[in-house]
Amino acid sequence: MARPQAPTWIGGFHAVEAALRERPERVERVALSGRDDRRARRLQALAERAGVTIESRDEPWFDKLRSDGRPLKHQGVAALVALSQAGDEQDLAALLDGNDQVPLLLVLDGVTDPHNLGACLRAAEAAGVQAVIAPKDRACGLTPAARTTSAGSAERLPFFQVTNLARTLADLKARGLWIVGAAGEGPVSLYESDFACEPVVLVMGAEGGGLRRLTRERCDQLIHIPMAASVESLNVSVASAVCLFEFRRQRLAALG
């Protein structure tokens, strides 16, 4: 489904371990600092089983690595990996055609911060989401920082970037999925909604701006998260997690 891109450095134990477990054939080499603790030994064993070369590097070498123009967060471990690119509309259609579960998808409408994207991917995987969708333009892709923040979820959870998000939402609606947008002015409370057995697409807006007009118009329903009066809004990754885990709670309750 996803196509490999040019090798790049990723850092942190979660991200490197996930790459070694999920896509070992794409890991060219692993760099490790002089630490000799249980976590480092576990990672060494993973690399050795995958046949990946391990290099010993000092801290100044790690500190020179960059991700999205910023110092790479590494914890003394990094890997040079041919990372996968996002899938497209055709890949998304193929995934849905082969899906035998009640769909639960997350759409991110213009999230531009890679750390927010990574956190959304991590929450989505934990909540049982089958795919995350975002537009190609004016939105963050699977950058090294997003992958690191996702703690491995970016290597396991299907991620798609589409040319026209409004059209993609219309296509999902034609497949029988219920499009639910989260907005502060949504007339229905998250906790008054009932999506236990529904195929659902949760649509979250960008940081600050919220849902765009065309995206909002494609939603079948707008919901809001009830909050204390002193709180105006939540970070998009936190809001996504709150909504997704409520959907998951409803589904588990329906199963008895």
Residue 7: which residues within 8 A CB-CB, separation 6 or more?
A: 28, 80, 81, 82, 83
Segment 176-192 shows an average pLDDT of 94
Residues 35-70 have pLDDT tens digits of: 889 999 999 999 999 999 999 999 999 999 987 677
Domains of the chain in sequence order: 8-81 (3.30.1330.30), 89-254 (3.40.1280.10)
The answer to whether 116 touches 147, Cβ cutoff 8 Å, is no
Q: How confident is the model at residue 3 (pLDDT cuts 50, 70, 90)?
A: low
- 205 labelled binding-site residue: yes
Please tell me the predicted confidence (pLDDT) of residue 4. 52
- 108 labelled binding-site residue: no
| CA distances (Å), origin 181, targets 53, 56, 76 | 46, 48, 40
Residues 190-219 have pLDDT tens digits of: 999 888 888 999 999 987 778 999 999 999
6, with CB counted inside 10 A (0-12, 13-18, 19+), is exposed
Residue 124 pLDDT > 50: yes
> What 3-state class would DSSP assign to 228?
coil
Q: Per the structure block, which two tokens stand in for 87?
A: 């899938």
Share of the chain above pLDDT 90, in %: 64
Residue 27 pLDDT > 80: yes
Segment 11-18 shows an average pLDDT of 88
- 176 labelled binding-site residue: no
Q: How confident is the model at residue 156 (pLDDT cuts 50, 70, 90)?
A: confident
